[in-house]
Amino acid sequence: MAKQKLIAGNWKMNGSLAANEALLQALRAGLPQQLSGCAVAVAVPAPYLAQVQSLAAGSPIQLAAQDVSQHDAGAYTGEASASMLREFGVRYVLVGHSERRQYHGESDVTVAAKAQKALAAGVTPVVCVGETLAEREAGLTMEVVRRQLAAVIHANGHCISEIVVAYEPVWAIGTGRTASPEQAQEVHAVLRLQLAAATQQADRIPLLYGGSMNATNAAQLLAQPDIDGGLVGGASLKAADFLQIIAAASV
């Protein structure tokens, strides 16, 4: 039996009450009540969690958050804890997205702590790893992604089989450039081996590709043996494109 794929849309800092409603209505209209071979989630800005929880109720669309605090509670203005996210029915949360690492200075240790808090609250962390263009050109791709994932493995031990990993080459995010299916598969295979050294259940951990996955290239990327889904940016804001990617993953 083939492993279920996961297609997660990352809305980033986009959306409005009206736009969200229109998008969710279009997605619901285009999705069957029961999805076959594919799970679907949307990672929405924090102010819209309650709205999207309501709009997605009774559909196969699961809710994801874009970030989580590494703390449980307290004087951390602007932060949201994993237990708070859980109260809104959040199933997944992105941790270590390259934009968080780049613009907010999140370290590998911080990302690992966030994954730990999510797991403790029953929320599945989608751990993002990936190299910059300079790192790829310097031949450091494997070293960078292994280092980023190693921190999460070290902090989470036997719980590591409960995570999702998303490989997102930073140079391919929002640029229209995409890693070739072969380039993406090469990195995914390395990550799978690293996970296999940490847990006997490495095969059950979904490995997603993120980095300008779209309706045109999704099928080719998803055909690779170690690519189990996608973390989709811009295309997840267009219902027709997102539905096409979901269809490619449901084959």
126: left (phi over 0), alpha (psi -120 to 50) or beta: beta
- Catalytic residue check, 143: no
Q: Are 24 and 33 in contact (CB under 8 A)?
A: no
- H or E segment and range at residue 124: strand 124-129
Catalytic residue among 106, 131, 162, 168: 168
- Catalytic residue check, 104: no
Catalytic residue among 97, 99, 131, 162: 97
What would the DSSP string read from start to end of 148-184? HHHHHHHHHGGGGGG-EEEE--GGGSSSS----HHHH
Token digits of residue 10: 């990352």
- H or E segment and range at residue 204: none
Catalytically active residues, by annotation: 97, 168
